[in-house]
Chain A
């Protein structure tokens, strides 16, 4: 049964294997460098956009809200600066989402998990909270010391202060979210008055809690265990994607400068460039060692590149021991060959196809936005009864029409009808005696006007294909039409 197996040497050792692993806290050291500055810039941009956008105003005249970006779920309108989208036009949003998807494919195939490293809200808020850690507890070593310290007055005080700041940030984060869905200044006022809708408080509560928990405590656990995106992106990378790479052929065998010096004195070749200072590990926000190679937990933020570059500068060696590099180039470099030119890496069929698809959808959306009609007509014919015989022998059909005026001002329009000679139309809010060939009306700003329309045709009219057409009777103009049928007893075998 327990036949000795040389390969199972490890099994013979009395291992205390844990079924569940406690999170190993990560205390990333502060670092400065090109990637850190880029990350600062992206973080500042994202936070300013997130917190600032709802407060931008945009004049839309007297009939529409003045918030530049507003998702008005209650009235089913989506405002984005000069663009107003009705639910019927939701394909614009779908198009944007598809563009976002393909854009991620494009970015990932070129520079790997840049989304994870710089722009993902989890990354941005984790980064923000890690700065709070440094502000209150000090840098990496001080944080570790405090973590292991007993719960004395200092630790309790610092923790209370830090977690209060966590909570404040979380509350501001959750709080800002609701302003995208209603007029920000008045909702802000109502929120503190206690008169905002219950859903607003619930939303803020939930988002405050998730921000506090995910940004303050879960951090890299979200990336490693919860998020599906690392797996998806792993599948989207290829050997020509730029990823953060430890150039082991240059760094190994690693060792201190002293050890290397000693070897040279002994007549052996010097060690590699990696002096095993572990700064790349110390700055990593997910706490991994990039020298193990590309891995799931690497969000490719490039902070280890900054750390390694500053170490190389100190010992007078060229930068880039850890650097953005493709798998293909890593192979070539390790054989002493030159890299593929960067432009050739970026402009390859895959990225060009992604870009074309992305750009084509964008151009298509812009075209549709430029040519879309802000006036629309839909007609539903009454099917029960299909027609009504009137006492003078004429035939009446009824239609339910909807006229959508998507402009933020009232518009005069004319509803026309053609296809049945001698037919007259009237609506259910006017006298039948006032029926005529067409129907002028006014549609209020930004509304759908629903009307029941009667069409009366002379005795003996045959069933016919008919056309309703709607014309705006103002300077801007605009037109829409809808085809339907006119039913009579004739030709029905009755």
Chain B
């Protein structure tokens, strides 16, 4: 029925709805019709206010697209500007903490737990950017790259020593104060015969508890005393002054099986770490030291201020 009225006039095309006394708009959808009630005028006013707001917005903010960029807007607002402002604000909010870390020696960080906490978190962030490529995102290392969570340290695990290692690197050509040592290639350079190498390997596997003593290991013991003990110690306890690993424990940087040990003794190893003091600012290096020290294997600062003497066993964590 309502269809009859669809072609009606412009005012209202509909019929009079008896229940309400209001005309319908004249359209009908599956029997559903719409009453032609006037909209409240305040609603219309709100609509105009919205239009005015939109005009103001277009003037004040970037809005109209052009070929290469939009109109700049009178306020000069940009999303890049917002980002820059937020970044600056974040840097400024960190400035006080960074200044405090800069003013504190790395050994004294632990005296201020809040500062230490901040340093550790800063170090965690820097580690994710600079260190994970070799040491892994959990600092668990890999073959040739030390696990920083454990209690075994090549050069020492107190925070000052870690800081020194970070600052100057290991066997890093560009830093005069870098940690330097080199194991001879006993097999390749003909210092030891292949058979002697096997004997030394047997001995190392015996002192690390992986093999029972044998004739080979007995021979190796003598060779070890002559060739290896000067760095690794008479009993294979290692030497931190030259970064010589302890050979009696359960942790192997490259592997403790016979094949890997043979490879190590024959060709030697020469692990390198950059001197981070050349690449990062001093505060970040300090924060990295605090973070690495916090991973579970950090050692207490030795009572004697001797920086990195041969003092082999600072009270090792976890033992």
Contact = CB atoms under 8 A, between A and B. Distances in A.
Nearest to B37: A21
A361 B232 CA distance: 72
A389 B150 contact: yes
Interface string A11-30: 10001011111110000000
B83 to A, nearest CB: 23
Contacts of B44: 20
B172 to A, nearest CB: 26
B67 interface: no
A234 to B, nearest CB: 15
B12 interface: yes
A225 B11 contact: no
Contacts of B23: 10
Contact of A391 (B40, B249, B315): B249
Given A225-B40, A225-B43, A384 B250 contact: no
Dominant secondary structure at the A interface: loop
Dominant secondary structure at the B interface: loop
A459 interface: yes
- Most chain A beta carbons < 10 A, residue from B12, B15, B149, B297: B149
A392 interface: yes
Interface stretch (B1-9, B159-167, B223-231): B1-9
A218 B46 CA distance: 13
- Most chain B beta carbons < 10 A, residue from A17, A22, A221, A392: A392
Nearest to B4: A5
A49 interface: no
A428 interface: yes
Nearest to B209: A393
A432 B250 contact: no
B316 interface: yes
B16 interface: yes
A8 B11 CA distance: 13
B8 A391 contact: no
A393 B250 contact: yes
A391 B41 contact: no
Interface residues of B, number: 42
B251 A389 contact: yes
B296 A428 contact: yes
Interface size class of A (residues with CB under 8 A): 35 or more
- Most chain B beta carbons < 10 A, residue from A389, A393, A454: A389
A7 interface: yes
B128 to A, nearest CB: 11
Given A1-B7, A17-B11, A428-B294, A391 B246 contact: yes
A5 B14 CA distance: 12
A385 interface: yes
B38 interface: yes
Interface of B: 4-5, 7-9, 11-12, 15-16, 23, 36-44, 136-140, 147, 149-152, 246, 249-251, 294, 296-297, 300, 315-319
Closest 3 CB pairs of A and B: A384-B138, A385-B140, A391-B249
19 contacts: A1-B7, A7-B15, A7-B16, A11-B8, A17-B36, A20-B44, A21-B39, A22-B41, A23-B41, A382-B138, A385-B138, A388-B297, A390-B150, A390-B318, A391-B150, A391-B152, A391-B250, A396-B318, A432-B318
Given A15-B12, A390-B151, A396-B318, 18 more contacts: A5-B4, A8-B5, A11-B9, A20-B43, A20-B44, A23-B40, A23-B41, A225-B43, A385-B149, A388-B296, A391-B150, A391-B151, A391-B249, A391-B251, A392-B319, A428-B294, A432-B151, A432-B318
Interface of A: 1, 5, 7-8, 10-11, 15, 17-23, 218, 221, 225, 382-385, 388-394, 396, 398, 428, 431-433, 454, 456, 459
